[in-house]
């Protein structure tokens, strides 16, 4: 099994992408809503990722 | 005064209508959707969950074993084990072929462990979705 080394950002991005796809599929009842919810979930992940990243950066001093 | 609406409990449909979809959905991510002729969604679920699981393996994630001890140890290890085993055939193949890793410190391994558990948890969501479709509660 090949080894995969990802940075924090790459791992979090991949995680957000895959979770958003599944969340979009299982929560809504038509394709349009699924796409919108998947994009919304992914955007929320990105906002949290960058927000917490900056918070930790600024909090660390 | 708020009026409380009584929740109408839907009767459980016969076992034969939803059990095969649920079982196949556990064994193969997206399998229940394939059985129920939701091929597009099945393909997306299969790709997403399998990619997450394989990335977790390639990051050398740790497969939890059920352990008892203090509350936190029991919760983490047993919960993690349930999450891992929910991946179905992916978990079984990994265990049978000896690809499961030892618990090691490090950022990459830690992410891998989370990816493996999350793949299982996402498969549980897919199983619930397949159940609802098979039971006629969802399109």
Residue B32 in contact with residue B127, Cβ under 8 Å? yes
The pLDDT tens digits for B95-107 are 999 888 887 888 8
What are the tens digits of pLDDT across the range A7-53? 999 999 999 999 999 999 999 889 999 999 999 999 999 999 999 99
pLDDT of residue B8 exceeding 80: no
Interacting residues of B95 by C-beta distance below 8 A, sequence separation 6+ = B63
Residue A41 resides in a domain: yes
Asked if residue A37 belongs to a domain, the reply is yes
User: Whole-model pTM?
Assistant: 0.90
CA distance readout (Å), A40 to A17, A22, A46, B14:
11, 13, 10, 36
Please indicate if any CB of chain B lies within 8 Å of the CB of A35.
no
Residue A18 domain-assigned (yes or no): no
Structurally, chain A folds into a number of domains equal to 1
Q: Could you give the CA distance from residue B43 to residue A10 in angstroms, rounded to a whole number?
A: 24
Contacts of B114 in chain A (CB under 8 A): 15
Residue position matching structure tokens 């397949």: B130
Residue to test with chain A: of B44, B50, B110, B138, most A Cβ within 10 A: B44
Domain ranges (residues) in chain B? 16-134
* % of chain B exceeding 90 in pLDDT: 71
| Interface of chain B toward chain A, CB-CB under 8 angstroms | 41, 44-45, 48-49, 51-52, 55, 57-60, 99, 107-108, 111, 114-115, 118, 122, 125-126, 128-129, 138-139
Contacts of B44 in chain A (CB under 8 A): 21-22, 25
In a domain, A53, yes or no: yes
Contacts of B139 in chain A (CB under 8 A): 29-30
Is A9 inside a domain boundary?
no
Q: What is the ipTM, given to two decimal places?
A: 0.91
Domain residues for the domain of A42 are: 29-61
């Amino acid at each position: 099994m090949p080894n995969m080394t990802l940075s924090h950002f790459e791992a979090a991005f991949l995680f957000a992408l895959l979770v958003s796809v599944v969340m979009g599929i299982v929560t809504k009842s038509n394709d349009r809503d699924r796409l919108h919810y998947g994009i919304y979930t992914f955007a929320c992940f990105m906002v949290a990722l960058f927000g917490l990243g900056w918070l930790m950066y600024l909090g660390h001093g | 005064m708020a009026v409380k609406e009584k929740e109408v409990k839907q009767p459980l449909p016969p076992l034969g209508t939803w059990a095969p979809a649920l079982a196949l959905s556990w064994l193969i991510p997206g399998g229940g959707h394939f059985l129920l002729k939701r091929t597009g969604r099945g393909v997306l679920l299969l790709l997403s969950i399998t990619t997450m699981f394989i990335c977790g393996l390639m990051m050398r994630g740790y497969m939890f074993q059920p352990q008892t001890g203090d509350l936190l140890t029991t919760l983490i290890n047993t919960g993690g084990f349930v999450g891992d085993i929910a991946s179905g055939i992916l978990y079984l193949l990994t265990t049978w072929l000896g690809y499961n890793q030892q618990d090691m410190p490090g950022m990459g391994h830690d992410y891998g462990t989370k990816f493996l558990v999350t793949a299982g948890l996402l498969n549980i969501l897919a199983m619930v979705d397949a159940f609802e479709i098979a039971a006629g509660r969802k399109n």
